[in-house]
Structure 1
């Protein structure tokens, strides 16, 4: 069996290619590239002389079959790269990786640059949990559906890609749907003219409209939304129980721990987990006080 490497490449600054990525690319027998014309610049910069073939969404199935056959019969080493960043994230590659796994071919990741991770790291927005949505739909109806899903799923921080010619449209759409959002519009990450438009979405819309260069460069956009808490729904037969009382009820009825009860109450009553956690702290303090009195 051969070996398939999934190699992250620079998202702008060529100096960001890791030593391990450079070693792998130089030692491979074949490199699969999303756009060979674009990737040739990287290979020429590092004086890499390895056969380069295209691997994109229009030939993904046929090229995967061809390369997989060579991986099995010739035991070659193949590197998969995208135009920029880590392959298989809004880029071709999943097909050949999945089929290689099915055939038992070793697949190794060579970590490195990622526009999503870089944007999150410089955004200053909460990112303990976040959702990557890729490129949003262009049709208004489909875009509205995505925004509706974001509200229903209560996604607090999400990341999207956008092209420069549609960046104003995205900003105005976000303002209309999430006027309370904090955003960071990262453009040309790691490149010479890297810039970011940061702040409340209304302010960022003004920044973009005032900047004549806003229509140049690729964007990675981080959005943080504080959703309004849903109305708490009392469980059948419980009346208007306090969170503390509901926690006790769940622990007694289900024989679970306080930690498990916190998760259950937050999930079933649609209350933010931090609110239920605070109620659990109050309950624990109350119990400790009663024990001291006893």
Structure 2
């Protein structure tokens, strides 16, 4: 079992899931200009006109200079002034959302490292008084989850650690906002279980999510069924590995969760997934028969 992250440490130095070398090279200094996750955040800067060019220093540290193969592009948005504003701290959540929409007007799937830097910067304020929860959610949804999968894994692990810290006596962190709960759910449902069972299981320990945890478990076979129905029967065998990984996560939850309702829901969902997995081995009726 992987040791939980200590929010007081450098958030990128002690990842619960060891990031690939490319991720470490890209983000080794990504948050060098920000306080550690457990430290008080600096007060927001005084409002000032947005620059037309990216300033040196903090922006360079956030974006980095290396470009590891397969982990994001160096493509920059047309409005560098908007990017600079996002890498500082927008005045409020609505302004930040408008900046994102104008900086990257596309539907999502963004592979730009600049977009990752923005998402990291906004996530630093998670559960703090100055948080921008809906903008943070929008920024992480903007990223291509395949390109930035290591970043999504690390962020989910860090958010779980911070959410647990917010429940501790004397904590300066706040209860989870709606947008922050949505972000945790989005990351949970976007990541393929695979080797991340320990991180995904941590989500089920967050009391701040309440009944949302039960909904996440119950949706797993529903989402799997939709994936199967979206492809032709002869092609469903290709989805079997993903279904098996999801089943492994549910099996782990059913055996380890202390909450009886969550554990029972996981065991029930495991049975549903077993039935779906069985359909990937069933040939289409008439496929082997005479023409």
Higher Cα radius of gyration? 1
In proportion to residue count, which structure has more strand?
1
- Higher RCO structure, 1 or 2 (CA under 8 Å, sep 6+): 1
In proportion to residue count, which structure has more helix?
2
TM over 0.5: no
| TM-score normalised to structure 1 length | 0.29
